Amino acid sequence: MRRVAGVTALGNIASAIGVRAEEASIVAELKAGSEEAYNWLVTHYHQPIYSLVYRILTDPADAADTTQEVFLKVFRGMNRFNGECSLKTWLYRIAIHEASNQRRWWFRHKSKETSMEAHVDQDGNSYGLCDTLADKRESPMEILAHEEVRARVEMELKQIPEPYRTTVVLRDIEGLAYEEIAEVLQISLGTVKSRLIRGRDALKKRLETFFNEMGAEVGGNKPEANNRKPAQSEVEAQS
């Protein structure tokens, strides 16, 4: 077993070295002004960067403009990338910085304006990036079943205060590891975990009523089931 574990560890190390070597090659081409390398960068990172920015700004038009600004900053500042962190971490760090600046500007200059685009209808359904979350392989009935949940999660996520919302987005939506989030936000690992716990808890509290109501609609008399006597195995597990 130890030998197998050792081989696996060596394989992971070799893979990591390979990834770093590949990234170093791409960075070198970017710094040399390779159009092909820039095309790869935009193709590979545009959607995740837009997704991250959108969930900070919650406005599709602002998110699109800010995403373009992010890549402009990357193009102009590529020679300043020193490799102390991964290329992905550097991109996410710039994206969060630009989105945060745009958000502060919005609160100063646009908070009293009325948006010409309606992103939430009279029934409370939000439309935007959440519409792209649907798995295109799902059947129409499955999409309809999940649409309300996705829309409500997106809507409630917008109400989670910073910096907890960004931490939840990076971990639970973008799928970054704790260490990557710490690098992106330039905070300690402990702070990442603390913010994630608080962000998830805030989101859970905002969604509790919605899911309870939804469960009652689907299950009919389901709320009464919550008052049932616990099974003996459950009592033993709690004691």
Residue 185 amino acid letter: L
Token output for 88: 């992905």
What pLDDT does residue 231 have? 47
Q: What topology is assigned to 43-109+118-217 in CATH?
A: Arc Repressor Mutant, subunit A (1.10.10)
Measured between alpha carbons, how far is 129 from 115 in angstroms, rounded to an integer?
17
In the chain, where the domains are located: 43-109+118-217
Long-range Cβ contacts of 209-218 (<8 Å, 24+ apart):
210/152, 210/156, 214/148, 214/149
Task: Give the chain's residues under pLDDT 70.
Answer: 1-19, 105-146, 214-239
pLDDT at residue 22 in the model:
81
Question: Residue 59: which residues within 8 A CB-CB, separation 6 or more?
Answer: 106, 115, 117, 119
Cα gap 164→43, rounded to integer Å = 28
CB under 8 Å to 49, separation ≥6 — which residues? 67, 70, 71, 91, 92, 95
Tokens, residue 27:
């960075």
The label of the residue with tokens 């300043």 reads 80
DSSP-derived letter for residue 116 is S
